[in-house]
C-alpha cells in the first residue's frame, strides 16, 4: 500500500510539467471554476490535490470522503465499483459522481455541479428535471458503466481500439470518453467546439472537436441542425439563426466520436439493451448491440446513405419530412445527395428517461411532436413499441392524427411501400392495428425483411432507417 502511494506521488510530481499547458486550459484546472473540494480548505481552485490525495491525510485526518485505504492513481476515492453491473448508482460507485452531482445529492465540489442534458444545454430544453451527471446515469436508459468498463478492458465484446494504451484495470469508465486532465467546459461556450469535453478512445491523449477539421461542418455539408427548443427560426447548438454550415461548425463531430465505438467492426455487449424479437414477438433484455453503419452508401439512411428519392413523384419530399428538413432547396431531393443526421439529434450521451438514450426533446419540440396532451399520449418511450414518439418530431403528421399518419406513409403516399394492399390480415394480424409495432422494421440497419416470413409478396427490401 505504501509503495502504491509513493509511486503515485512520484508520478504526479514527474508529470505536472507535462500536464501544465493543457491542464490549465481544462475545466478542472481552471483557477476560477475548476476543482475545489469542500473538504480541502486552503487548497487553490484547480489544484491537482482536489482530485489526488498526495498524503491521504490533512492535519492528521483523511479529508472526505473517508475510505481508509489509498486508492489507485492516488485518487481521493476508488475509481469505479466493478461490482455494480446496473444502475441505480450511489456516489461511491464512480469517483466522478462525488463532484458531478448536486449539493442535495451530496456533491463534494463547492456549490455542486449542475450539468444538464445535451437537449437542455445545446437544445434549449430547460424543462427537464434531471440535474447533474449522477442523476443522468440513474434514469431508465443510460450508458451502462460496467459494460463500458468491460468493453474497454477487453473482457466483453471485441474491438481494435487502442484501449490498452490508456485504460487500466483500475480505470474509470467515464474516461473511455473523457480525459479528466484536458476536458473543457463546452457548456460555458455552447457555440465553440474548442471547449469540447471529449476525447475519442482512439486518441485519448487529445481532445476531439477543438480543431477545425473535427467539427460536424468538416465531416459533411449535408448536416441540417435541428430547431432550438420552441423555435422555428433558430437552431442548435446555440439558438441562433445561422446557416446549416455555420451551425455545424459550432459543434464537435459527434458522429465520428460515437462511431469510434458504434461502428461495423466492434462487437459491443449490453446488459440492459431491450431488443424486440420478431420471431417470438417478445422483448429480451441484454445482448450484443446492432452494429451501426453510418458512413457507407449501403448503411443507414439517417446517415450517409441517401433516402429513396424519385424525382418523377408528385411529392418530391419522399421521406415525408417536417421543417427544417422539408426545404426543397436542401439536398434531400437531389439524386445522389441526402441529409446526414448527427447521433445527438436523437440521442443523449449519458442517459434518458426514454429507452435507448432517446432525447426528451427533438427538433424543437417535446416528443410526440409537442402534441402529447392534445393527442392523448404521454411523452415517454418506455418500450420498443413507443419509438414512433420520436419519428413524428421530424416526419410529417398527416390529418392531425397518428394512425392517419402511419396509414398515409405506408399505404397512400406516392412512394408508400405497400400501396393498394390486399390481404390486410397478412400484415395486420401480426402487427396489430394501433400503430405500435414499428420495431419489426425500423431500427439501425433495418429493412422490411420480416415480411419474408409473414407476407413475402409485399417484401420491398427498402431500408427503413
Ligand atoms: C478531476 C480530477 C482530477 C484532476 C484535477 C487531476 N487528475 Fe490526475 N487523474 C484523475 C483520474 C480520474 C485518474 C485516473 C485515470 C483513469 O481512470 O485511468 C488520474 C490519473 C493520473 C495519473 C496517472 C497516470 C495516468 O494518466 O493514467 C497521473 C500521473 C495524474 N493523474 C496526475 C495529475 C496531475 C499532475 C494533475 C494536476 C496537474 C492531475 N492529475 C489532476 C483525476 C484528476
Ligand atoms: C459514451 C461516451 C461517454 C461516457 C461513457 C461518458 N460521457 Fe460525459 N459526455 C459525453 C458526450 C458526448 C458529451 C457532450 C454532450 C453532452 O454534453 O451531453 C459529454 C459531456 C459531459 C459533461 C459536460 C456536460 C455539460 O454540462 O456540458 C460532463 C461533466 C461529463 N460528460 C461527465 C461524465 C461523467 C462523470 C461520466 C461517467 C459517470 C461520463 N461523462 C461518461 C460522452 C460520454
Ligand atoms: C473534485 C471535483 C471533481 C471531480 C472528482 C471531477 N470533476 Fe469534472 N469538473 C469539476 C468542476 C468544478 C468542473 C467545472 C464545472 C463548471 O464548468 O462550472 C468540472 C468539469 C468537467 C467537465 C467539463 C464540463 C463542465 O461541466 O464544465 C467534464 C467533461 C468533466 N468535468 C468530467 C469529469 C470526469 C470524467 C470525472 C471523473 C474522472 C470528473 N470530471 C471528476 C469537478 C470535478
Ligand atoms: C433519427 C434518430 C436517430 C439517430 C440520428 C441515431 N439514432 Fe441511434 N437509435 C435510434 C432509435 C429509434 C433507436 C432504437 C431502435 C434500435 O435499437 O435501433 C436507436 C438505438 C441505438 C442504439 C442501440 C442499438 C441496439 O442494439 O438496440 C445505439 C448503440 C445507437 N442507437 C447509437 C447511435 C449512434 C452511434 C448514432 C450516430 C452514428 C445514432 N444512434 C443515431 C434513433 C437514432
Ligand atoms: C467508449 C465506447 C463508446 C462510445 C464512444 C459510445 N458508446 Fe454507446 N455504448 C457503448 C457500450 C459499451 C454500450 C453498451 C452498454 C449499454 O447498453 O449501456 C453502449 C450502448 C449505447 C446505447 C444503447 C443503450 C441502451 O441500453 O439502450 C446507445 C443508444 C448508445 N450507446 C449511443 C451512443 C452515442 C449516441 C454515442 C456518442 C455520443 C455513444 N454511444 C458513444 C460504448 C460506447
Ligand atoms: C431528427 C429528425 C429525424 C427523426 C427524429 C427521425 N427521422 Fe427519419 N429521416 C430524417 C431525415 C432528415 C431523413 C432524410 C435522410 C436523407 O436525406 O437521406 C429521414 C429519412 C427516413 C427514412 C427514409 C425515407 C426514404 O424515403 O427513403 C425512413 C424510413 C425514416 N427516416 C424513418 C424514421 C423512423 C422510423 C423514425 C423514428 C424511429 C425517424 N425516421 C426519426 C429525419 C428524422
Ligand atoms: C405488407 C404489409 C401490410 C399490408 C398487406 C397492409 N398493411 Fe396496413 N399498414 C402496414 C404497416 C407497416 C403500417 C404502419 C404500422 C402500423 O400503423 O401498424 C400500416 C398501417 C395501416 C393503418 C394505420 C393503423 C394505425 O392505427 O396506425 C391502417 C388503417 C391500415 N394500415 C390499413 C390497412 C388495410 C385496410 C389493409 C388491407 C386493405 C392493409 N392495411 C394492409 C402494413 C400493411
Ligand atoms: C412491415 C415493415 C414496417 C413496419 C412494421 C413499419 N414500417 Fe414504416 N416504413 C416501412 C417501409 C418499407 C418504409 C419506406 C422506406 C422508404 O421510403 O424507402 C417505411 C417508411 C416509414 C417512414 C419514413 C417516411 C416516408 O415517407 O418514407 C416513417 C417515419 C415510418 N415508416 C414510421 C413507421 C412507424 C411510426 C411505424 C409503427 C407505427 C412503422 N413505420 C411501421 C416499413 C415498415
- Indicate if the pLDDT at residue 3 is higher than 50: no
Provide, rounded to the nearest whole percent, the portion of the chain with pLDDT above 90.
Answer: 73
User: What distance in angstroms lies between residue 335's CA and the mean position of ligand 5's atoms?
Assistant: 33
User: What distance in angstroms lies between residue 146's CA and the mean position of ligand 6's atoms?
Assistant: 32
Query: Going by C-beta distance under 8 Å and a sequence separation of 6 or more, which residues neighbour residue 359?
Result: 117, 118, 119, 123, 346, 347, 348, 352
Are residues 411 and 435 in contact, defined by beta-carbon separation less than 8 angstroms? no
Model confidence band, residue 423 (pLDDT cutoffs 50, 70, 90): confident
> Within a domain: residue 458?
yes
9-18, 119-128, 226-235, 276-285: range with lowest mean pLDDT: 9-18
- How are beta strands 141-142 and 351-352 bridged, if at all? antiparallel
Supply the pLDDT for residue 351: 98
Burial class of residue 66, CB neighbours in 10 A (0-12, 13-18, 19+)? exposed
Model confidence band, residue 20 (pLDDT cutoffs 50, 70, 90): low
- Indicate if the pLDDT at residue 426 is higher than 90: no
> Within a domain: residue 146?
no
Summarize the confidence of residues 292-296 as an average pLDDT.
97
Look at the block and give the residue holding cell 406516392. Answer: 414
Whether ligand 2 lies within 6 angstroms of the CB of 137 is answered as yes
Look at the block and give the residue holding cell 431491450. Answer: 274
Count of C-beta atoms within a 10 Å radius of residue 267:
12
Count of C-beta atoms within a 10 Å radius of residue 32:
7
User: What distance in angstroms lies between residue 206's CA and the mean position of ligand 2's atoms?
Assistant: 16
Are residues 292 and 283 in contact, defined by beta-carbon separation less than 8 angstroms? no
> Within a domain: residue 109?
no
> Within a domain: residue 3?
no
Instruction: Return the C-alpha cell found at 93.
Output: 460507485
Ligand nearest to the CA of residue 365, numbered in listed order:
6
Q: Ligand 5: which residue has its CA nearest to atom 36?
A: 258
Structural domain of 399? 367-465
Look at the block and give the residue holding cell 478542472. Answer: 28
More confident residue, 317 or 298: 298
- CA dist 352 to 17, 88, 447, 460, Å? 39, 13, 26, 34
> Within a domain: residue 439?
yes
Grouping H, G, I as helix, E, B as strand and the rest as coil, residue 151 is: helix
Ligand nearest to the CA of residue 418, numbered in listed order:
7
Q: Ligand 4: which residue has its CA nearest to atom 16?
A: 443
Supply the pLDDT for residue 66: 84
User: What distance in angstroms lies between residue 3's CA and the mean position of ligand 6's atoms?
Assistant: 57
Whether ligand 1 lies within 6 angstroms of the CB of 51 is answered as yes
Distance CA 128, CA 315 (A): 37
Q: Which helix (H) or strand (E) holds 273?
A: strand 269-277
Whether ligand 1 lies within 6 angstroms of the CB of 16 is answered as yes
Please state, rounded to an integer, the average pLDDT across all residues of the chain. Answer: 89
HEC sequence for 317-339: CCCCECCCCCCCCCHHHCCCCCC
Whether ligand 6 lies within 6 angstroms of the CB of 70 is answered as no
Summarize the confidence of residues 401-409 as an average pLDDT.
92
Torsion of CA 269, 273, 276, 277, to 10 degrees: 30
Q: Ligand 2: which residue has its CA nearest to atom 34?
A: 174
Q: Ligand 7: which residue has its CA nearest to atom 23?
A: 407
DSSP code string of 369-403: GG-HHHHT--S---SGGGGHHHHTTTB---TT-HH
- Indicate if the pLDDT at residue 314 is higher than 60: no
Whether ligand 4 lies within 6 angstroms of the CB of 258 is answered as yes
Are residues 132 and 114 in contact, defined by beta-carbon separation less than 8 angstroms? yes
Pocket test for ligand 5, best of 262, 275, 349 (most atoms within 8 A of CB): 262
Closest ligand 3 atom, CA of 34? 12
Whether ligand 8 lies within 6 angstroms of the CB of 442 is answered as yes
- Indicate if the pLDDT at residue 6 is higher than 70: no
Supply the pLDDT for residue 309: 64
Model confidence band, residue 328 (pLDDT cutoffs 50, 70, 90): low
Q: Which helix (H) or strand (E) holds 142?
A: strand 141-142
Q: What is the pLDDT of residues 95-107, one digit of tens each?
A: 999 999 999 999 9
- Indicate if the pLDDT at residue 118 is higher than 80: yes
Q: What is the pLDDT of residues 128-151, one digit of tens each?
A: 889 999 999 999 999 999 999 999
- Indicate if the pLDDT at residue 170 is higher than 90: yes
168-182, 184-198, 255-269, 308-322: range with lowest mean pLDDT: 308-322
User: What distance in angstroms lies between residue 147's CA and the mean position of ligand 3's atoms?
Assistant: 22
> Within a domain: residue 246?
no
**Helix (DSSP H) and strand (DSSP E) numbers for the chain:** 12, 6
Calculate Rg over the CA atoms of the chain.
24
- What domain count does the chain have? 1
Q: Ligand 8: which residue has its CA nearest to atom 35?
A: 388
Distance CA 339, CA 224 (A): 7
User: What distance in angstroms lies between residue 41's CA and the mean position of ligand 1's atoms?
Assistant: 20
Sign of CA dihedral 322, 328, 330, 331: positive
Q: Which helix (H) or strand (E) holds 282?
A: strand 282-288
The DSSP output letter for 74 is G
Distance CA 209, CA 194 (A): 6
> Within a domain: residue 381?
yes
More confident residue, 417 or 2: 417
Closest ligand 5 atom, CA of 176? 1
Supply the pLDDT for residue 455: 87
The neighbouring-strand residues paired with 284 are: 275
> Within a domain: residue 443?
yes
User: What distance in angstroms lies between residue 337's CA and the mean position of ligand 8's atoms?
Assistant: 21
Q: What is the pLDDT of residues 368-389, one digit of tens each?
A: 999 999 989 999 999 988 999 9
Q: Please, how many CA atoms are within 13 Å of residue 20, restricted to the half-sphere of its CB?
A: 5
The DSSP output letter for 335 is T
Supply the pLDDT for residue 270: 98
Amino acid at each position: 500500500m505504501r509503495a502504491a502511494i509513493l509511486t503515485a506521488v512520484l508520478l504526479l510530481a514527474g508529470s505536472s510539467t507535462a500536464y501544465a499547458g493543457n491542464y490549465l486550459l481544462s475545466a478542472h484546472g481552471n483557477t476560477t471554476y475548476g476543482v475545489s473540494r469542500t473538504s480541502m480548505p486552503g487548497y487553490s481552485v484547480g489544484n491537482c490535490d482536489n482530485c489526488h490525495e498526495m498524503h491521504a491525510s490533512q492535519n492528521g485526518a483523511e479529508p472526505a470522503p473517508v475510505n481508509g485505504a489509498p486508492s489507485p492513481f492516488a485518487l481521493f476515492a476508488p475509481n469505479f465499483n466493478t461490482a455494480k453491473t446496473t444502475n441505480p448508482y450511489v456516489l461511491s460507485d464512480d469517483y466522478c459522481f462525488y463532484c458531478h452531482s448536486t449539493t442535495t445529492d451530496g456533491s463534494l465540489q463547492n456549490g455542486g455541479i449542475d450539468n444538464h442534458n445535451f437537449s437542455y444545454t445545446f437544445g434549449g430544453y430547460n424543462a427537464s428535471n434531471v440535474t447533474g451527471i449522477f442523476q443522468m446515469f440513474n434514469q431508465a436508459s443510460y450508458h451502462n458503466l460496467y459494460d463500458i468498463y468491460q468493453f474497454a478492458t477487453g473482457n466483453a465484446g471485441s474491438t481494435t481500439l487502442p484501449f490498452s494504451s490508456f485504460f487500466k484495470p483500475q480505470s474509470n469508465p467515464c474516461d473511455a470518453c473523457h480525459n479528466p486532465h484536458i476536458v473543457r467546459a463546452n457548456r460555458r461556450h455552447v457555440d465553440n467546439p474548442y471547449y469540447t469535453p471529449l476525447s475519442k478512445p482512439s486518441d485519448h491523449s487529445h481532445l476531439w472537436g477543438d480543431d477545425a477539421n473535427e467539427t460536424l461542418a468538416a465531416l459533411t455539408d449535408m448536416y441540417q441542425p435541428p430547431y432550438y427548443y420552441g423555435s422555428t427560426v433558430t437552431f442548435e447548438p446555440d439558438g441562433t439563426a445561422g446557416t446549416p454550415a455555420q451551425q455545424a461548425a459550432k459543434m464537435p463531430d459527434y458522429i465520428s466520436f460515437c462511431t469510434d465505438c458504434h461502428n461495423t467492426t466492434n462487437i459491443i455487449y449490453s446488459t440492459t439493451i431491450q431488443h424486440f424479437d420478431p420471431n417470438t414477438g417478445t422483448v429480451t433484455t441484454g445482448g450484443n448491440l446492432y452494429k451501426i453503419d453510418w458512413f457507407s452508401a449501403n448503411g443507414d439512411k439517417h446517415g450517409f446513405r441517401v433516402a429513396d428519392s424519385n424525382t418523377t413523384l408528385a411529392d418530391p419530399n419522399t421521406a415525408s419530412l417536417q421543417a427544417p428538413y422539408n426545404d426543397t432547396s436542401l439536398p434531400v431531393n437531389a439524386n445522389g445527395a441526402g441529409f446526414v443526421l448527427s447521433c445527438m439529434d436523437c440521442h443523449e450521451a449519458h442517459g434518458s428517461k426514454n429507452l435507448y438514450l432517446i432525447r426528451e426533446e427533438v427538433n424543437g419540440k417535446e416528443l410526440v411532436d409537442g402534441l402529447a396532451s392534445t393527442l392523448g399520449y404521454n411523452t415517454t418511450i418506455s418500450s420498443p413499441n413507443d419509438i414512433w414518439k420520436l419519428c413524428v418530431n421530424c416526419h410529417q403528421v398527416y390529418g392531425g392524427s397518428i394512425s392517419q399518419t402511419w396509414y398515409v406513409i405506408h399505404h397512400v403516399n406516392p412512394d408508400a411501400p405497400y400501396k393498394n394492399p390486399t390481404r390486410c390480415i397478412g400484415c395486420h394480424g401480426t402487427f396489430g392495428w394501433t400503430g405500435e409495432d414499428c420495431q419489426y422494421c425500423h431500427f439501425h440497419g433495418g429493412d422490411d425483411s420480416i415480411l419474408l416470413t409473414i407476407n413475402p409478396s409485399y417484401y420491398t427490401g427498402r431500408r427503413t432507417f
